[in-house]
């Protein structure tokens, strides 16, 4: 089976050219790539290989596969799944009982992937339709990393800000700020973890403050049209429209 590329194969022109030559290496017409056969141009002209597929122990078929038309559109949608598997394997292998090292590892991954998001959005060596697929895969990986339990309870209970608002109101507030572009948290899982680690909500049922859980789920639910956001937004509107809120007390 032809390989699945890595998201980092699209980091720059050099890595993308390496990807093209790796693909070319599967061509049955040239079992070994000599220097003169290697591609040296980043141009977007399509090219093909003849690929041998084993259908049984003895039978085999040959297929013509184009790089831009066939390989990339079919393989890019599997990049996130492959990368997530690799991350899980690395955590299991190297960081199973080392939470601080695991956090550093995931922090570095996030830094690279966020930089890659900016690169991909501006790159000209990948066609627009493929760029959309790549950005989608990259964001899946980022969202997965932010969903990891390593980010849970980074701040302990006593140091969290206690807001006399309901869970829905707090999450709705940040959803609206994000929607208006007033926060830098682009991803639901990232913003959800920040909310969970920074705030506690007020429960009228037992007059106490409680930890916020599954904030990312409610953020996604609001984005998908959950009607409960209307009630929370209306409550916030009434609170923030109160003129006394803006009276500075000496």
Domain ranges of the chain: 7-75, 77-151, 157-246
Helix (H, G, I), strand (E, B) or coil at 62: strand
Structure token pair of residue 162: 């206690």
pLDDT-derived band at 161, boundaries 50, 70, 90? very high
Structure confidence at residue 175 (pLDDT): 93
pTM of the model: 0.72
Going across the sheet that includes 161-162, the strands are 161-162, 199-203, 208-211
The pLDDT value recorded for residue 185 is 73
What are the backbone dihedrals phi and psi of residue 205, each rounded to the nearest 5 degrees, phi first? -60, -40
Please write the tens of the pLDDT for every residue from 169-215. 999 999 999 988 888 777 888 899 899 989 999 999 999 999 999 89
Residue 61's pLDDT is 80
Pick the range with the lowest mean pLDDT from 30-39, 163-172, 180-189: 30-39
State the average pLDDT over residues 38-59: 76
In this prediction, residues 76-83 reach a mean pLDDT of 97
Greatest mean pLDDT among 21-30, 54-63, 79-88: 79-88
Give me the chain's average pLDDT, please: 87
Q: Is the pLDDT of residue 149 over 90?
A: no
pLDDT number for residue 103 = 87
pLDDT for 109 beyond 80: yes
Q: Cα(115)–Cα(71) distance, rounded to whole angstroms?
A: 25
Look at 100 and 141; give whichever has higher pLDDT.
141
pLDDT value at position 44? 72
- Of 4-8, 53-57, 139-143, 220-224, least confident by mean pLDDT is 53-57
CA nearest neighbour of 186 among 139, 133, 121: 139
- For 55-84, what is the mean pLDDT? 89
pLDDT of residue 33: 57
Q: Is the pLDDT at 81 greater than 90, yes or no?
A: yes
Beta bridge partners of 208: 203
For residue 139, the Cα-to-chain-centroid distance in whole angstroms is: 3
* 3-class state of residue 54 by DSSP: strand
For range 62-87, the mean pLDDT: 95
Residue 153 has pLDDT above 60, yes or no: no
Residue closest to 108 by CA, chosen among 122, 94, 97, 121? 94
- Number of DSSP helices (H) and strands (E) in the chain, helices first: 9, 5
How large is the average pLDDT for residues 91-117? 89
């Amino acid at each position: 089976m032809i390989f699945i590329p890595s998201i980092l194969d699209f980091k720059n022109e050099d890595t993308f050219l390496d990807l093209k030559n790796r693909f070319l290496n599967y061509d049955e017409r040239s079992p070994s790539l000599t220097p003169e056969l290697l591609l040296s141009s980043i141009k977007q002209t399509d090219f093909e290989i003849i690929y041998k597929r084993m259908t049984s122990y003895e039978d085999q078929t040959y297929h013509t596969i184009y790089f831009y038309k066939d390989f990339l559109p079919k393989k890019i949608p599997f990049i996130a799944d492959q990368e997530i598997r690799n991350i899980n394997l690395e955590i299991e292998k190297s960081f199973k009982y080392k939470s601080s090292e695991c956090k550093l590892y995931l922090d570095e991954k996030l830094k690279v992937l966020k930089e890659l998001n900016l690169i991909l959005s501006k790159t000209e060596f990948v066609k627009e339709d493929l760029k959309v697929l790549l950005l989608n895969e990259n964001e899946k990986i980022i969202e997965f990393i932010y969903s990891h339990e390593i980010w849970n309870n980074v701040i302990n209970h006593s140091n969290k800000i206690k807001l006399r608002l309901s869970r829905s109101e707090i999450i709705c507030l940040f959803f609206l700020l994000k929607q208006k572009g007033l926060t830098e948290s682009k991803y639901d899982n990232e913003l959800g973890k920040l909310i969970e680690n920074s705030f506690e909500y007020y429960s009228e049922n037992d007059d106490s403050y409680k930890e916020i859980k599954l904030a990312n789920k409610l953020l996604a639910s609001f984005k998908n049209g959950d009607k409960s956001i209307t009630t929370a937004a209306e409550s916030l509107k009434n609170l923030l429209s109160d003129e006394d809120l803006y009276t500075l007390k000496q």
